[in-house]
Each structure stands twice: as structure tokens, then as C-alpha cells.
A and B are shown apart, each in its own frame.
Chain A
Amino acid sequence: EIVLTQSPDTLSLSPGERATLSCRASQTINNNYLAWYQQKPGQAPRLLIYGTSSRANGIPERFSGSGSGTDFTLTISRLEPEDFAMYYCQRYGGSPLWTFGQGTKVEIK
């Protein structure tokens, strides 16, 4: 079973700063089936990035994804107040078919 480990668990930053979130897989993820989601309290997750680096519809350009193999990154170039939330990476393929990382909380410093 492929395990996704996100780091750090919590990222404390100020608005305007750059956020770098990491997602490391225990085995190579094929075909870049790696996605990122944002979740705010009391809300469902929202797709941000799919295929490692493609932004979902309506997602601002300040969100970008990169990586390959076992190491993937979500970058928020300049944090806006609405970006403070939980972020999850997710991969497709293998068993179970979909697995999520444990999440990174981006909080206001």
C-alpha cells in the first residue's frame, strides 16, 4: 500500500508570504496521478490541482503544483486571507485505489 506523508503538519505564515507544502509517497506514483485539495472548516474539500501540476477550474494562479516520482509540492506564491485552511494530497492507483495524505494546516502566524 502506497502511503502519502505530508509535511509539515502545520505551517504558520503571514498573508503575502509564500507557502510550500510537501507530499512524499512511499512508492513511485505512476503517470503523475497526484492531486491536491483545500478544505476549510465545515466545508467539503475542493480540488485545487490534478495531474501534479494542472489547476482545476477557477483556481487562482497563485496555486501551483510540481514534482514527480515520490516527491510532490504544492506552492502558494502569496498567501491571501482565504488560503488559510487544510490541504490534502491524494493519489490514484494501487490498493486502495485512492489514498490521501494526512493533511497540512496552513495557519495565520
Chain B
Amino acid sequence: EVQLVDSGGGLAQPGGSLRLSCVGSGFTFGDFPMNWVRQVPGKGLEWLSYISSSSQTIYYADSVEGRFTISRDNGKNSVYLQMNGLRDEDTAIYYCARGYSFLSYWGQGTLVTVSS
């Protein structure tokens, strides 16, 4: 069974940093591209970042470019999102998701709250 488990969320101050992690199981992690998507509670979905299976190709949404960094460690079946310069508007549930043109599997999400 394919599983993605997100972790690392919590409370951060404006301007602060957090590092999110997502561990995959039930599939060959290194064969698949991965993404991060967020959702403000009660609102819609926003794609944030993509990393190819080999880490050679990386994309970011304009809203996080220059502040967030995606990376992966295929040996640990993990993808990460380093979030720096956090803002109030980054408060959301963050999901990792597997896929390229469509997102076939999603983690359960981890809540990030940015507040002083």
C-alpha cells in the first residue's frame, strides 16, 4: 500500500523557519517525482513546489520562490520542504503529493501556523 507521511509542522514566528518532511512507503520512492501543495484551512489548494525523481528538475510557485527549498533523499524515501522567511499568509496545511501531471497519492498533511 502506498503511503506518504508528512511531518514537521508547528508554530513559527514571522520571519522564522521550519523544515517539513514526507516519508514514502509501499513504492519505489526514487522512481517518482514529488510535490508540495498547501491549503489554508477552509480554502482551496495551492501547488508550491515540484522535484523530479533524480532532483535534477525543480520548480516553485511564485509565492514561495526564493523562500522555500525542496529537496529529497531517495535513500531515506523522503522529500523535504525548507521554509524560510515565513509570513502570516504561509499558515496552512502542507501536503506532499506524488506525481507529475496529476497527483496520485497525498500525505495526510501537516499544519504550519505562522504567528507572533
Question: Interface size bucket, A side?
Answer: 20 to 34
Which residues in B have their C-beta under 8 angstroms from that of A90? 45, 102-103
Q: Are B44 and A97 in contact, with the CB atoms below 8 A?
A: no
Give the contact stretch, choosing among B8-16, B68-76, B78-86, B106-114.
B106-114
Query: How many interface residues does B have (CB within 8 Å)?
Result: 21
Closest to B4 in A: A44
Looking at the complex, which of A11-19, A45-53, A72-80 is the stretch in contact with chain B?
A: A45-53
Q: Contact check: which of B50, B59, B62, B106 meets A45 at CB < 8 Å?
A: B106
A1-37 CB contact bits vs B (8 Å, 1 = yes)? 0000000000000000000000000000000010101
- Report the minimal beta-carbon distance from A49 to chain B, rounded to whole angstroms: 9
Among B47, B103, B105, contact of A96 (Cβ-Cβ < 8 Å)? B47
B35: which A residues are within 8 A, CB to CB? Answer: 98
26 interchain pairs, CB-CB under 8 A: A33-B101, A35-B101, A35-B102, A43-B108, A44-B95, A44-B107, A44-B109, A45-B103, A47-B103, A47-B104, A47-B105, A88-B45, A90-B102, A92-B102, A97-B47, A97-B50, A98-B37, A98-B50, A99-B47, A100-B44, A100-B45, A100-B46, A101-B44, A102-B44, A103-B44, A103-B45
Interface on B for A, CB 8 Å cutoff? 35, 37, 44-47, 50, 59, 61-62, 95, 100-109
